[in-house]
Amino acid sequence: MAAAAVPGRQPFRGQAAVAAAISRQPSRAPWPPLLPHRGPSRPPQAASYYCNKLGFEELAYRGLETGSREVVSHVVRQDKIVFVLSSALNPGNEEMGEHLVKHGDGVKDVAFEVEDCDFIVQKAKERGAVVVKEPWIEEDKHGKVKFAVIQTYGDTTHTLIEKLNYKGLFLPGYHAPLFKDPLLPKLPNGKLNFIDHVVGNQPDLQMVPVADWYQKNLLFHRFWSVDDKQLHTEFSALRSIVVTNYEETIKMPINEPAAGKKKSQIQEYVDYYGGAGVQHIALNTSDIITAITNLKQRGMQFMDVPSSYYQMLRERLKTAKIKVKENIDKLAELKILVDFDEKGYLLQIFTKPVQDRPTLFLEVIQRHNHQGFGAGNFKSLFEAIEFDQDARGNLTVLNPSGETNLL
């Protein structure tokens, strides 16, 4: 991910991951998949959930049996997507314990695989970034890996990972999983390929400062933006800026709530997560119909979409310059959304929250020559989310000061 446009230097590899993991992906794939889903209170159960419901497989393990005395991590992978699910082993681990109490299960770290860790850290420090942990090296019989950690929005961090000819299964200290679930090969393929984008929710008036942080410290640039005049329902609204690296292979939408009659789902996230954090992770597929058919057979739950959406979609497509290849009746059956412009279209669907708090959820997306983020679907998506939000008792009326009046 070449986040620094420095002549003759390519500090980033054009890949991203999460919380300590990495995998190489084709140049067209924006993220390498590494999403550290760090912080689940029960990593084995979380790993089983992602494997059984979403089609992941266990890739690697680190825990007491491998010599890790403080943290246990289960690494799951599907094609180029890698999630690292970690938790503290000891009651005295204040950092992970406090994070779990405050935020619940969620994404602690989004990692980037880089080519020159020292250079990126040095330049980020010069521009004012907070370095949580200076570069260090870990090694085992398979080689060496250099790491560093920098602070981004809220309590979220970015781990920089530079592989120094490392040939191991995953990263130093990780071993093959202790157990392979015999049920998984019998389930239909998840058909998910790589991380498309990772969305960060911010409190009100923090979107621009966060976007500016990426531009200043990692030399990202603005890729796309939309305001509350375009993204709103009868009750709530949001604003969004998408930032991306130099090669535009890593995309990170930054959202904030906008004033409305009732509490927006962005504000609901901020309230329940305890501040800024990763709202959702979009997973790209080349065959969304098969993917969602299979994931629903596995028992994965997705947000509902009213049938009226597809009636309006058919009318809009009659005058569109593009033609959707997929069968609209099948898209309606699976509740897959469609957004399009004069050049192409995208197909997308969103899961229910993947933990009890209404915070982190996932998106499945397929692109057909369309690099947007579903702005045309925001109203339908928001209304679907607001339906669930109302069921949770959180679609509350806001008074003129922006505070909630409980009804």
pLDDT confidence tier of residue 399, bands split at 50, 70 and 90: low
Integer CA distances (angstroms), 151 to 108, 157, 160, in order: 11, 5, 11
Is 70 exceeded by the pLDDT of residue 360?
yes
Tokens of 19: 């919380």
Q: Are 244 and 220 in contact (CB under 8 A)?
A: yes
Q: Is 232 annotated as a binding residue?
A: no
CA distance 344 to 323: 8
pLDDT computed for residue 385 by the predictor: 61
- Please state the φ and ψ torsions of residue 200, each to the nearest 5 degrees: -110, 125
Q: Are 196 and 283 in contact (CB under 8 A)?
A: yes
Ramachandran assignment for 304, one of left (phi > 0), alpha (psi -120 to 50 degrees), beta (any other): beta
Q: Are 184 and 273 in contact (CB under 8 A)?
A: no
Please give the sequence-ordered ranges of beta strands (E in DSSP) within 18-156, or none if there are none: 35-38, 57-62, 71-78, 81-88, 112-114, 131-140, 143-151
Q: Are 339 and 374 in contact (CB under 8 A)?
A: yes
Q: Is 74 annotated as a binding residue?
A: no
- 11-65 tens-digit pLDDT: 555 444 333 332 223 223 334 445 444 556 688 899 999 999 999 999 999 999 9
CA distance 100 to 87: 9
Integer CA distances (angstroms), 32 to 16, 118, 387, in order: 5, 21, 34
pLDDT computed for residue 393 by the predictor: 80
Q: Are 141 and 392 in contact (CB under 8 A)?
A: no
Is 90 exceeded by the pLDDT of residue 77?
yes
CA distance 265 to 257: 8
- 248-265 tens-digit pLDDT: 889 999 999 887 667 788
* Residue keyed to tokens 């947000």: 303
CA distance 120 to 164: 16
Give helix then strand counts, H and E, for the chain: 9, 19
Give the lowest-confidence range in 77-91, 159-173, 391-405: 391-405
- DSSP class of residue 169? S
Tokens of 200: 């960060």
- 213-224 tens-digit pLDDT: 999 999 999 997
Q: Are 80 and 29 in contact (CB under 8 A)?
A: yes
- The pTM assigned to this predicted structure is 0.86
% the chain with pLDDT above 70: 79
CA distance 63 to 171: 13
Nearest alpha-carbon partner for 160 in 133, 140, 199, 139: 133
Is 80 exceeded by the pLDDT of residue 146?
yes
- Please state the φ and ψ torsions of residue 34, each to the nearest 5 degrees: -145, 100
Element (H, E) at 94: helix 94-103
pLDDT computed for residue 386 by the predictor: 62
pLDDT computed for residue 23 by the predictor: 29
Is 80 exceeded by the pLDDT of residue 381?
no
Angle between helices 378-391 and 265-273 (to 10 degrees): 50
Tokens of 366: 């397929």
Q: Is 197 annotated as a binding residue?
A: yes
Residues whose CB falls within 8 Å of the CB of residue 87, separated by 6 or more in sequence, listed in order? 39, 40, 41, 42, 43, 71, 72, 96, 100
